Amino acid sequence: MKNHTKFTKAFVLEIATEKARERFYDTVVDGLVLSVTKGGNKSYYVKFWRADAVGDGCHVERVIGQAKDLTVDEARRKVRELKSEFIEEDPRKSWRKKAVTLQDLHQRWALDIEHKVKVGKVNSRYVANTLRLWEMHMPSKMARRRADEVGVDEFTELFMGLRESSESVHNKIAKHCKSLYKIARERLGVDLGNPLARYTVDKDVIRERFLTVDEMTSLFDALSKEKQIYQDLVMALLLTGQRKSAVLSMSWADLDFKGRTWRIPKEVMKGRSSGHVVPIAKALIDVLERRKQDGDGSVFVFPAQRGKGNGHVTVGGGKTTWWGKAKLRSGLTDIRLHDLRRTMGSWLAIEGVDIYKISKVLAHKDVRVTQEVYAHLKAVDAREDIDRVVGKRVDDLNRVGSVEKTAAVDVESLAANMSGEDKVKMISALARSMT
């Protein structure tokens, strides 16, 4: 049952919940919603049903703002303004009268996804990456074309060019373009068909490269010629098992030395709408202490080495960068910084750590991703166990077979030592057993 009540200043200040999230509905202005989390965060939303031109409709929900920043009256006034903007006329009517371009649909996607970012359903990094890829790889001439005039052959030509340079970029752009036609149909009420309906996007190939102990030794020998901060950065990447973007932006404020934990903000977490807490290995504490002593007062553990400002260090991929030179010196030219993350995962898997624990440490959104990458390592590690167990059992079987063979009765010797009466009894027993 919905929590309907009259919103007052006292109610908003005092209301709390033991649930992860609970919503309360104002009885004065229909559609005003107060969202309260267990952590004490309180936000105003507007939610109402908007009918469309053909008698159907959809729920509209928009974030108004934080309760601490708005009075109840201000929130109610904002609800009335937002509702009037949408209720005056169904905006989808105008879409049916215009020539819809791919760029129009992309902008519609951007507006819709902006709300999902605000309510925490979508990670802002995903949105930023998609917008960047669109700007970089979608030809402007093609983007301005009418969406119902662009054929599958044109899309395929674009996608094949992207695939030659990057399978990952190809997959992201292809999936995004396919989704635009779905937006046209479901969000705008415009059926443009879908030239990409039968275009299949292969599943991303999961890279399984991780470093052996010998390779790690070679890498750190090569890194010893670089600045200490870069050596410490690589160690942090390895010992936390976290993504490059998170480690690069690690701040002192997010570290708890006493509890030996690192809280990663949700803004830098890939594919997650929440933050992540990482346990800090004892070996990493020494590295962090050294960074603190060598620090220049920056908020970041790994501050930028060039230029002004309070930014963090960056990693370039060129051969003249510190990372590029270290790879060349080590002879490991095929490795990436992300392989350090896989190396930590492989160590945990080989040591028999539960796959769900590995998934949690690496912050995988789905444990199936962890299983695909690391489950085979547990199988490799189990070979020795299988050999040991099977070998023991085979030895037991061979030993039993040997005993059975040596225990066979020597009939000639037995008969020679039996009396006549015993021989008659034995013949009778053998006759009975054979009938």
**What are the residue boundaries of the structural domains of the chain, listed by start?**
3-90, 102-186, 213-376
Q: What pLDDT does residue 253 have?
A: 92
Strand ranges across the sheet with 255-256 = 255-256, 261-264, 276-279
Q: What pLDDT does residue 407 have?
A: 46
Residues of the chain falling short of pLDDT 50 = 1, 52-55, 88, 382-383, 386, 403-407, 435
CA dihedral (144, 148, 153, 155) in degrees, to 10, reads 50
How far apart CA 54 and CA 66 sit, in angstroms, is 35
Q: What's the CA angle centered on 353, arms 350 and 355, to 5 degrees?
A: 100
* pTM for this predicted structure: 0.52
Q: What pLDDT does residue 7 have?
A: 93
Strand ranges across the sheet with 21-26 = 3-5, 21-26, 32-37, 42-51, 57-66
Look up the CATH superfamily of 3-90. Answer: Integrase, DNA-binding domain (3.30.160.390)
How far apart CA 228 and CA 220 sit, in angstroms, is 11
Q: What pLDDT does residue 428 have?
A: 61
Residue 40: strand, helix, or coil: coil
213-376 CATH choice from 3.30.300.180, 1.10.443.10, 1.10.287.1060, 3.40.50.300: 1.10.443.10
Cα 178 versus chain centre, distance: 22
